[in-house]
């Protein structure tokens, strides 16, 4: 059974006022088993991003990553952002825990072309931890849109020198999958950095 509803992606409108992005409230089909996906997410207990191949995941998470990395998903992104990604490389990382120091205002590395974030939290209360897409780098309150961390919430944006984003400090479990399309010459260093981080820490427990 397919997890991601491509029609929802295709129908989403792109906001181009500050930097190009789109948001889908719940990208999954309505009959997707939320509990199965959440339970299959690796039990990451430390902060930071970890390469998907470095942490053991269940079948549902592996399928989800395959769908995010597939050709159909790429073609939708190309259409949305008017890009040719044929030569770009794809990298997927997982986050399972947010530290108080996380969420500072930043733009993504210039080695990245596109960033896709998919949140997988069963529920979310309050605004702390919700991603904010910002008009500038001076304040988290000067935001274009607040992206909830709720299950299925997906945001994709083009990496520019103005793609400012961040979130109010939050400490605790915060599940997300991050997909990046990266310039080919930068893929090796990107993967090495995340795999090395995974290897140096005992960050997960077997279910």
pLDDT of residue 48: 92
In a domain, residue 164? The reply is yes
In a domain, residue 169? The reply is yes
CATH number at residue 193: 2.60.120.620
pLDDT of residue 56: 87
* CA count, 13 A, side-chain hemisphere, 144: 22
pLDDT of residue 194: 47
Q: For the chain, how many structural domains are there in total? A: 1
Per-residue pLDDT of the chain (207 residues; tens, 9 = 90+): 899 999 999 999 999 999 999 999 999 999 999 999 999 999 999 999 999 988 889 999 999 999 999 999 999 999 999 999 999 999 999 999 999 999 999 999 999 999 999 999 998 988 999 999 999 999 999 999 999 999 999 999 999 999 999 999 999 999 999 999 999 876 655 554 544 454 444 444 444
The token duo for 10 is 């295709």
In a domain, residue 1? The reply is no
pLDDT of residue 188: 58
In a domain, residue 71? The reply is yes
pLDDT of residue 195: 47
As a whole number of Å, the CA-based R_g of the chain is 16
pLDDT of residue 206: 40
In a domain, residue 207? The reply is no
Give the structural domain span for 154: 6-202
* The three-state (H, E, C) secondary structure of 73-120, written as one string: HHHHHHHHHCCCCCCCEEEEEEEEEECCCCCCCECCCCCEEEEEEEEC
pTM of this prediction exceeds 0.85: yes
């Amino acid at each position: 059974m397919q997890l991601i509803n491509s029609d929802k992606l295709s129908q989403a409108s792109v906001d181009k006022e500050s930097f190009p992005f789109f948001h889908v409230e719940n990208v999954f089909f309505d009959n997707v088993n939320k509990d199965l996906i959440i339970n299959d997410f690796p039990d990451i207990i430390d902060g930071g991003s970890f390469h998907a191949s470095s942490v053991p995941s269940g079948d549902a998470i592996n399928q989800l990553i395959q769908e995010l990395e597939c050709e159909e998903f790429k073609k939708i992104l190309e259409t949305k952002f008017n890009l040719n990604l044929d030569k770009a490389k794809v990298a997927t990382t997982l986050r399972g825990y947010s530290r108080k120091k996380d969420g500072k205002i930043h733009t993504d590395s210039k080695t990245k072309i596109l960033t896709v974030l998919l949140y997988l939290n069963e529920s979310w209360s309050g605004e702390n931890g919700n991603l904010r897409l910002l008009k500038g780098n001076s304040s988290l309150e000067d935001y274009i849109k607040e992206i909830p961390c709720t299950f299925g919430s997906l945001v994709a944006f083009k990496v520019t020198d103005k793609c400012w984003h961040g979130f109010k400090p939050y400490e605790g479990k915060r599940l997300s999958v991050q997909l990046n399309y990266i310039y080919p010459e930068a893929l090796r260093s990107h993967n090495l950095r995340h795999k090395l981080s995974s290897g140096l820490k005992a960050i997960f427990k077997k279910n």
